[in-house]
Structure 1
Amino acid sequence: MTPFADIFARAAERKGGVEALEAMLATTRPRPPADIARMRDDRILAEMTRWIFYAGFTWKVIDDKWGAFEEAFWRFDPNACAFMTDDQFGTLMQNRGIVRNGAKIKAVQANGKFLLDLEAEHGSAARFFADWPDSDHVGLLDVLKKRASHLGGDAAGRFLRAIGKPAFITTRDVVAALVREGVVSRAPGGKRDLALVQAAFNAWSTESGRDLTAISRVLAMSIGE
């Protein structure tokens, strides 16, 4: 497998040099686990919701409506969202201030319940995410896919980055880089492929001391002439 130093050098050459590349990477630095653990669970539910609603919409549309989302969903209090009544759901479906997508509104309710379950199991949802090992990122993605709602694929990785958790995202450019490096032969679609991707990221992280987010972004920026 190609040393990460060589991949980094390729990305730096494409992006105007080492300093320019480091400046780009600095915009997405993860938070220390202790900082993630101190997050309020309502803010975690808010970020889940933001990335669920971003999917299929121009992000600016959601950002412009976000104040209305906060108000409509009780500031994303997990208890309030989890125990949403049918009447409250109906009111949300009539609220022109938000995006009235029934499946995604129901996802907020399901994810509120998920966070309450994590609180019961781990003391807080924030503690659960903070304590999960980065070396098993694919395991965390699997938890989100199975136990949360509407948090599969890229949305899960982007949500994790939003709360400060290191995450790789298998975008088109990242997949192209992984194929170039011989890690996989196609976009990873099953547990075996994802295990190979995780192993490669773990090796590059050990070599470079960089987190999953940085490695993912460097891979993406190493693509092209």
Structure 2
Amino acid sequence: MEKFNDIYQRAVERKGSTQMLQQLLAKPASKRQLVALSDDDWLEEFTRKVFQSGFYWSVINSKWAGFREVFWQFSVEKLLMMPPDMLEQKASDERIVRNYKKVKTIPENAFMIHEVTQQHGSFSQFIADWPSEDIIGLWAYLKKHGARLGGNTGPYTLRALGKDTFLLSRDVESYLRAHKIIDGGLQTKKSLTAAQAFFNELQQQSGLSMQELSLIIAYSVGDNRVGISQQQ
């Protein structure tokens, strides 16, 4: 297994300098910032990521104001009281992307959030308390108890709202396979456990967040074009 310093130096070389690489990195939110998020914030971002999966993100984003209007700004409390026939009406509203199967996830994920809040005080507290050294356990929880939150949907939501997590992007997956850290299916328990162990080891070596490590690995390989040119 490569050492963190080797990965980091390759990312520096590919991006032009240490300063340029550092400009591309971002830290996750603090625990205090995470706890400040509302249950409604989580439901909105889960829904956004569910709809972005398989669609052009720009299409979903262009209609997002309509989504917020139709679904009461993603109020968990209001959506839990919504009768089934009203959901069908909302699913056909022209202000949103009309996909009934995905629309059904909204009350389902609202219920999941509500159940967690009953047990932990708030959904954000539950997320903030989950240790990043077992972030795949949180991914598994979202997949099991949520609706359409498996694969990268749950992890991308966590990243979007600031929870420290690595992502199995194409560049990260390519790295893990090239270095024989994973083989077989990406989402198998064996592969996920191996990926988590690898990131935990890198974190011990570097002291960086899972998010920063994930970005550094991605920038050290592949065809990503997010670097800043040396002339800028």
TM-score normalised according to structure 2 size? 0.92
Question: Matches of 1:5 and 1:80 in 2, distance apart?
Answer: 50
Quick one: distance in 1 between partners of 2:62 and 2:97? 11
The 4+ residue runs of structure 1 with deviation greater than 4 A are: none
Query: Counterparts of 1:146 and 1:160 in 2: how far apart (Å)?
Result: 16
User: Which residue pairs with 1:17 in the alignment?
Assistant: 17
Q: Deviation string for 1:61-102 (max 9, x for gaps)?
A: 111111111111111111222332122112212210101111
Alignment length, in residue pairs?
Answer: 223
Cα 1:188–1:79 change in 2 (3 A) is: same
Task: Report the equivalent of 1:36.
Answer: 34
Alpha carbons 2:152, 2:168 under 8 Å: kept: yes
Q: Output one character per residue of 1:161-204: Cα deviation in whole Å (capped at 9) or x when no partner.
A: 11100111212210111123331234533212211110110110
- Equivalent residue letter for 1:137: I
Equivalent residue, structure 1, for 2:147: 149
Q: Deviations over 1:11-36 (max 9, x none)?
A: 1111122111110113xx21001110
Q: CA deviation at 1:217?
A: 1.4
Conserved in 1, the CA contact under 8 Å of 2:7 and 2:216? Answer: yes
Amino acid aligned to 1:4: F
Distance of 1:103 and 1:79 partners within structure 2? 21
Unaligned runs of 5+ in 1: none
1:203 corresponds to: 201
Q: Is the 8 A contact 1:79 1:113 kept in 2?
A: no
Post-superposition CA distance 1:103-137 (Å, at most 9, x none): 11110110000000011010000100010000001
Taking the aligned partners of 1:172 and 1:141, their CA distance within structure 2 comes to: 18
Q: C-alpha distance in 2, partners of 1:101/1:36?
A: 30
1:89 to 87, 90, 95: 87
Give, in whole Å, the separation in 2 of the partners of 1:93 and 1:187: 34
- Look up the equivalent residue of 1:156 and give its one-letter code: G
Give the conservation status (yes or no) of the 8 Å contact 1:25–1:217.
yes
Identity of aligned residues (%): 36
CA RMSD of aligned residues (A): 1.4
Equivalent residues of 2:88, 2:100 under 8 A apart = no
Q: Which moved more, 1:123-132 or 1:81-90?
A: 81-90
Cα pair 2:43 2:109 within 8 Å, conserved: yes
Partner of 1:59: 57
Which amino acid in the other structure matches residue 16 of structure 1?
G
Q: What pairs up with 1:1-225 in 2 under 5 angstroms?
A: 1-26=1-26, 29-224=27-222
Contact 1:122–1:128 (8 Å) recurs in 2 = yes
